[in-house]
Copies of this chain bind each other. A is one copy, B any other.
Amino acid sequence: MPQRLKEIGEKAKAAEPQLRTLGAAQKDRALLKAADMLVSHTQELLKANAADLEQASANGMKPALLDRLRLNPERIGQMAQGLSQIAQMADPIGEVLHMGKRPNGLLIGQQRVPLGVIGIIYESRPNVTADAFGLCFKAGNAVILKGGSDAIHSNIAIAKALRAALAECEVTPDAIQLIEDTDRAATEELMRMNDYVDVLIPRGGAGLIRSVVENSKIPVIETGTGNCHIYVDEYADISMAVDIIFNAKTQRIGVCNACESLVVHEKIKDALLPVLQKKLSEKQVELRGDAAVCGVIAGVKPATEEDWGTEYLDYILSIKTVSSLEEAIAHINRYNTGHSEAIITQNYEHAQRFLNEIDAAAVYVNASTRFTDGYEFGFGAEIGISTQKLHARGPMGLRALTSTKYIIYGNGQIRP
């Protein structure tokens, strides 16, 4: 391992004992100071960001990506506000989940503790630097950040401001460390830092996530791709179905909880599809359907096998017809990515069966898949949406960044 990364790992480990025992008041004071520091460093942040933007432009980065990379006073204010909001959230650390006395008198409790050291690998949005730090820190963890090379100057400036805030509050600045090497080798080394990092969370596109899952020797929490389905049951309210599909498909297209695929019961297709097509045409949504769909409405491209498994993140919707609830559930469980799935139905038994039998982080009856989100679920800010089953599933707030330990109060007990 390169010396520079080894040092980062050792500093993170050295920060753990202080972070493990920091009180909520001190953590919140440091978060508010960090928020202030971002705002008071606006000029430095903008200057660093300008260097990133200039280089990215010169490298031919597309306008949409340039926009994700761009900082302005408003966006810096939003980062600061994000940290202030995290300061308002309840401290998860120290909570005793349950505690009870055993017949031998041992009092055994399970207490929430930090995970330790969290690694975050992300792409070009510099705001992740502040957001990820805030959540990891509030949950008592040290964080090692590896951002995209496009945002390196911005990330360095943000991390510097955050570290200065911690130091002012007598908290070790090593609670946040940024890997400044921008090459791929540094990312690969980070994925092998088992001795220093307890968990890796990749934040970004499907390619990044797959690469981390496949190459990391550290446990990974897999976030995000969402090939989300809505199943319109034969007993659906058509007007509700159209509203929900329109919302889930078009309210924001580039997000993981947007609807990508529709499954329609054959008995309702004739009534639903023409109305739906008209509504979706308001946003020029391209439809790709199976033969039955193409038989009902015109202007639909034939869907291929590949369509069923594709997360478009675009104004495109695939549509599959089925002849039963069972067929719908089997299709969704085969092609989904374990994110968010919905049924539209007025039938009680079908609703319950869908909830029980669909294998996904969030399963909805009669609501838009777009609600799978930390704020919408009531946890506040989130570090991502887990699509795996281990440790955390669904929107991950502060609790997902914690572990537990057993604490046992005895008075001399020995095992017979």
Instruction: With both chains docked as a complex, state the minimum distance between the C-beta of A366 and any C-beta of chain B, in angstroms.
Output: 4
- Near B by CB (< 8 A), chain A positions 233-271 give 237, 240, 243-244, 246-248, 251
Tell yes or no: A278 within 8 A of B by CB: no
Nearest opposing residue in chain B for A219, CB measure: B390
Tell yes or no: A370 within 8 A of B by CB: yes
Structural contact, B403 and A20, CB atoms closer than 8 A: no
Give A259 to B370 CA distance when docked, in angstroms.
52
Structural contact, B415 and A251, CB atoms closer than 8 A: yes
Give A229 to B217 CA distance when docked, in angstroms.
28
Tell yes or no: A363 within 8 A of B by CB: yes
- The 0/1 profile, CB within 8 Å of B marked 1, for residues 348-377 of chain A is 000100011101111111111011100011
The interface residues of chain A, by DSSP majority, are classed as mixed
Nearest opposing residue in chain B for A101, CB measure: B378
Structural contact, A410 and B364, CB atoms closer than 8 A: yes
Tell yes or no: A30 within 8 A of B by CB: no
Tell yes or no: A61 within 8 A of B by CB: no
With a CB–CB cut-off of 8 A, which chain B residues contact A100?
A: 378
Q: Please, how many residues of chain A have a CB less than 8 angstroms from a CB on the other chain?
A: 70
Instruction: With both chains docked as a complex, state the minimum distance between the C-beta of A245 and any C-beta of chain B, in angstroms.
Output: 10
Structural contact, B199 and A410, CB atoms closer than 8 A: no
With a CB–CB cut-off of 8 A, which chain B residues contact A359?
A: 16, 20, 113, 116, 405
Give A372 to B102 CA distance when docked, in angstroms.
13
Tell yes or no: A44 within 8 A of B by CB: no
Contact of A377 among B108, B355, B356 (CB under 8 A): B108
Tell yes or no: A413 within 8 A of B by CB: yes
Structural contact, B412 and A360, CB atoms closer than 8 A: no
Instruction: With both chains docked as a complex, state the minimum distance between the C-beta of A370 and any C-beta of chain B, in angstroms.
Output: 4
Contact of A198 among B110, B237, B389, B409 (CB under 8 A): B389
Instruction: With both chains docked as a complex, state the minimum distance between the C-beta of A77 and any C-beta of chain B, in angstroms.
Output: 23
Give A116 to B364 CA distance when docked, in angstroms.
20
Structural contact, B388 and A393, CB atoms closer than 8 A: no
Instruction: With both chains docked as a complex, state the minimum distance between the C-beta of A103 and any C-beta of chain B, in angstroms.
Output: 9
Contact of A357 among B17, B194, B217, B361 (CB under 8 A): B17
Structural contact, A414 and B199, CB atoms closer than 8 A: no
Nearest opposing residue in chain B for A355, CB measure: B407
Structural contact, A408 and B108, CB atoms closer than 8 A: no
Tell yes or no: A85 within 8 A of B by CB: no
Structural contact, A357 and B405, CB atoms closer than 8 A: no
Structural contact, B214 and A370, CB atoms closer than 8 A: no
Give A405 to B198 CA distance when docked, in angstroms.
24
Tell yes or no: A284 within 8 A of B by CB: no
Nearest opposing residue in chain B for A241, CB measure: B412
Tell yes or no: A404 within 8 A of B by CB: yes
Tell yes or no: A34 within 8 A of B by CB: no
Tell yes or no: A394 within 8 A of B by CB: yes
Give A389 to B364 CA distance when docked, in angstroms.
31
Tell yes or no: A333 within 8 A of B by CB: yes
Give A415 to B360 CA distance when docked, in angstroms.
20
With a CB–CB cut-off of 8 A, which chain B residues contact A110?
A: 394
Structural contact, B17 and A414, CB atoms closer than 8 A: no
Structural contact, A391 and B390, CB atoms closer than 8 A: yes
Interface CB pairs A-B, < 8 A, 13? A17-B333, A102-B376, A115-B389, A194-B213, A198-B388, A199-B389, A221-B390, A361-B406, A367-B410, A368-B415, A377-B406, A390-B403, A393-B405
Interface residues of A (CB under 8 A from B): 16-17, 20-21, 100, 102, 106, 108, 110, 113, 115-116, 194, 198-199, 213-214, 217, 219-221, 237, 240, 243-244, 246-248, 251, 330, 333, 351, 355-357, 359-368, 370-372, 376-378, 388-391, 393-394, 403-415
